[in-house]
Amino acid sequence: SQKIEQNSEALNIQEGKTATLTCNYTNYSPAYLQWYRQDPGRGPVFLLLIRENEKEKRKERLKVTFDTTLKQSLFHITASQPADSATYLCALPSLGNTPLVFGKGTRLSVIA
């Protein structure tokens, strides 16, 4: 089965800096990878999806890269703000394209 590792359980950065979160996976390479945001007491909310033939995807201050050779995705938040503080989850489809398998998440804290 697919295994997902997110680089760290918690990450603290200063406001205005770029936050970089890592998602590594083992076994087979998925057709796509997704990133979600989860606030305390709430369900995850979809942020971005990147397909295997895409190297990079951007949405406002968010950028995701997908390196199928390294079996890794990087998630960047530029010009970070305290409102970006949350847990970020990466997710991949299990074999057969459904359902999603989630990493344990990285809890990001942006300090003013």
Partner 1 sequence: NAGVTQTPKFRVLKTGQSMTLLCAQDMNHEYMYWYRQDPGMGLRLIHYSVGEGTTAKGEVPDGYNVSRLKKQNFLLGLESAAPSQTSVYFCASSSLGRAATEAFFGQGTRLTVV
Interacting residue ranges for partner 1, rule: CB under 8 A: 1, 31-32, 34, 41-46, 49, 51, 89, 91, 93, 97-105
Beta partners for 16? none
Q: Could you tell me the smallest distance in angstroms from the CB atom of residue 104 to partner 1?
A: 4
Q: Could you tell me the smallest distance in angstroms from the CB atom of residue 69 to partner 1?
A: 20
Residue 64 vs 91, nearer CB to partner 1 = 91
Cβ burial, residue 88 (10 Å; 0-12/13-18/19+): buried
106-111/10-14 β-pairing: parallel
Beta partners for 48? 35
Q: Could you tell me the smallest distance in angstroms from the CB atom of residue 73 to partner 1?
A: 14
